[in-house]
């Protein structure tokens, strides 16, 4: 309701602040004019209580364990849809018709190749470079090759840039992986789907034919779908902040990739798998569960619970189904890490400590298991996350650029340093 206000009283003076009500979620106090009126800032480290933008793309209710893309629950999309259809939904706001989806899929498919000269960038990196380091550089360099889609004020160029990023980032990620293991690049193909294409570019070699297993392709597609967007998280906020200066879309997404690289953000599934390997064998699980329950022990079980979801991670149920399908296909009998994962999952779902604290296995727990079973090294977990999240970054970027209220990001600070003082000549110090 537009006429609702909140009253802030400072030293006996009251200020009326307008309140805004979203279509879902808590009301917001608009402090846009607070500094001009009262001469004060608000202080919110991590921006955990601050709304930075209007958005109609993704909504999360952590208490209910709810994640909606344009109003559609993520579990329905993951069960009934597929990644490129979800990409269309995020970009354009509605599910496509059959004709619209076919056109969109064809457009993305025919943008998957990268400029041949970009291959030279990969050879400038050391072979042992982390694939995320390579991706940050190469994605940022796209602006040097695709000049016809860097004008952010041209809606058609924004459209082309969006398609190019969604299509080419998987190719770049796969090439980064191939380069890191010393194998030749595998070009994309136009006759297979998005997820299958990515798996083929990662695992095929020129010496023999590679056929993508449909179970693995479906699991890969679900990983992409379940990581496509997650509201105003750290990397998305980074993309928006970079975009607020008018930077080109390739630079903005490169900034998002750099932020995602952080272990507190995109590296969660890697940390989970490393924990499973640290446990080693199922018989050691009770020891580590006891350590997790000990408040004085620094050990923490990775992949359980979620900072946002206070109930359950709505993505985890679907990801568990894919994990079961992949493990049934590939087997876990000779893989102690996967044996540990399955036993730890069973115990966590039954142990009263985990149930009472709602420490359910989250999407990172299951995605790490799937990617490991497929044969990806942990260094590729975050690049795969970046492939999935690119559409979210692009959708948020497009929404922001089209917003008439767009302003360059300029957070304030609570200054705690020295006040003004005079310079002292070096011989007098």
Q: Which residues are catalytic?
A: 306, 364
Q: How many CB atoms lie within 10 A of CB 407?
A: 8
Complete edge-to-edge strand list for the sheet that includes strand 5-10? 5-10, 13-20, 28-29
Q: What is the DSSP string of 252-314?
A: HHHHHHHHHTSTTTTTHHHHHHHHHHHH-SGGGHHHHHHHHH-TTS----TTBS-SS-SS--H
Q: Please give the Cα distance from 13 to 240 (Å, whole number).
A: 35
Cα 232 to Cα 383: distance, rounded to the nearest angstrom: 20
Compute how many other C-beta atoms are within 10 angstroms of the C-beta atom of residue 308: 15
DSSP H or E segment with residue 387: helix 381-401
**191 three-class SS:** coil
Q: Please answer whether residues 369 and 341 qualify as being in contact, where contact means their C-beta atoms are separated by less than 8 angstroms.
A: yes
3-state DSSP: the chain helix, strand, coil percent, rounded to 5?
Answer: 55, 5, 40
| Distance separating alpha carbons of residues 426 and 423, to the nearest angstrom | 9
Beta-ladder partners of 384: none
Report d(CA 336, CA 322) in Å as an integer.
19
């Amino acid at each position: 309701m537009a006429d609702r206000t909140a009253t802030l009283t400072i030293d006996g003076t009251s200020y009326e602040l307008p309140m805004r009500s979203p279509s879902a979620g808590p009301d917001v106090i608009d402090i846009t004019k607070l500094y001009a009126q009262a001469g004060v800032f608000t202080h919110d480290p991590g921006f955990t209580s601050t709304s930075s933008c209007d958005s109609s793309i993704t909504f999360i209710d952590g208490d209910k364990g709810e994640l909606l893309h344009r109003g559609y629950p993520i579990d329905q999309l993951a069960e009934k849809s597929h990644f490129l259809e979800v990409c269309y939904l995020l970009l354009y706001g509605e599910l496509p018709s059959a004709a619209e989806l076919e056109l969109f899929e064809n457009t993305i498919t025919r943008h998957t190749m990268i400029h041949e000269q970009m291959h030279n960038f990969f050879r400038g990196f050391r072979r042992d470079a982390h694939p995320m380091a390579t991706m940050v550089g190469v994605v940022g360099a796209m602006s040097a090759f695709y000049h016809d889609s860097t004008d952010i004020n041209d809606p058609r160029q924004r459209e082309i840039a969006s398609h190019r990023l969604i299509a080419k980032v998987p190719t770049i990620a796969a090439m980064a992986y191939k380069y890191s293991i010393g194998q030749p690049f595998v070009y994309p193909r136009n006759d297979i789907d998005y997820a299958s294409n990515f798996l083929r570019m990662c695992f095929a070699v020129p010496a023999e034919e590679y056929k993508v297993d449909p179970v693995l392709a479906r699991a890969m597609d679900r990983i992409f779908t379940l990581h496509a967007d997650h509201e105003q998280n750290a990397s998305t906020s980074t993309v928006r902040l970079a975009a607020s200066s008018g930077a080109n879309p390739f630079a903005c997404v490169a900034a998002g990739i750099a932020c995602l690289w952080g272990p507190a953000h995109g590296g969660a599934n890697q940390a989970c798998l490393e924990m499973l390997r640290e446990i080693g064998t199922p018989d050691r699980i009770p020891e580590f569960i006891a350590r997790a329950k000990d408040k004085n022990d620094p050990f923490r079980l990775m992949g359980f619970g979620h900072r946002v979801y206070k109930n359950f991670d709505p993505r985890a149920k679907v990801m568990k189904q894919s994990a079961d399908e992949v493990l049934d296909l590939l087997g876990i009998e000779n893989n102690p890490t996967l044996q540990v994962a399955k036993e730890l999952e069973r115990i966590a779902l039954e142990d009263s400590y985990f149930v009472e604290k709602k420490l359910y296995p989250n999407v990172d727990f299951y995605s790490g298991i799937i990617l490991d079973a497929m044969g990806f090294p942990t260094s590729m977990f975050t690049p795969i996350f970046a492939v999935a999240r690119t559409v979210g970054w692009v959708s948020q970027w497009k929404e922001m650029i089209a917003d008439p209220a767009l302003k360059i990001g300029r957070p304030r600070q609570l200054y705690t340093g020295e006040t003004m003082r005079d310079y002292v000549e070096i011989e007098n110090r």
